[in-house]
Amino acid sequence: MAKKLTTKTGTETGYKQFLHHVNLYALGLDSMSADIKRESYAIAHAENASEVVRLIESQFELIEFTQEHFDVRATFCLRVKLEGATSKTLSQPPPAPGSVALSASDELLCIRTSFTAHFHCKKSVAGKSHADRFAQSEARLIFWPYFRQTVSDTTARMSIRPITVPLTLRP
């Protein structure tokens, strides 16, 4: 006899039914910001390219739930920094009076985005625990391409080399 798998969010069979009945209704960009230290970014890529690192952070959150629909918010932050100790500075001209030399702790580039998606689901299989589980797992597959496209568009508009964002996000 087949053993039924159980998780803290209910049965696997129940979650599979929930997934089968979830439909993306709308997805939109809520906010986006980009900051660059253009001169430092250019010098870092020219002189210290092997020490430039890309960090990507993400967060997924169930923000509204009813028996017929739910909303998930995804926030992403891409940071480009220099790898290494904070005392390391770039070999650039002496800073102008009142400015500070760039150290490895400084961000060269930061792109932040926030998206919200609205999903509809069948009332008979909806459950807040299933929607929350969906927000923390499968939803990332829906939001990720939008984040990648935003980074691609933004870096192009900033007239900097494209930043390659991986095809998938590792949990």
Render pLDDT for 131-165 as a digit per residue (tens, 0 to 9).
Answer: 999 999 999 999 999 999 999 999 999 999 889 89
Per-residue model confidence as pLDDT tens digits over 34-49: 999 999 998 888 887 7
Pairing status of strand 52-65 against strand 6-7: unpaired
**63: CB partners within 8 A, 6+ apart:** 71, 72, 73, 116
Domains in the chain: boundaries: 31-83+101-157
Tokens of 15: 């979650």
Q: For the whole model, what pTM was predicted?
A: 0.78
Asked whether the beta carbons of 135 and 116 are under 8 A apart, the reply is: no
**45: CB partners within 8 A, 6+ apart:** 52, 161
Which of 51, 39, 54, 42 shows the shortest CA–CA distance to 104?
Answer: 51
pLDDT of residue 126: 77
**31-83+101-157: CATH topology:** Bacterial Protein-export protein SecB (3.10.420)
pLDDT of residue 101: 53
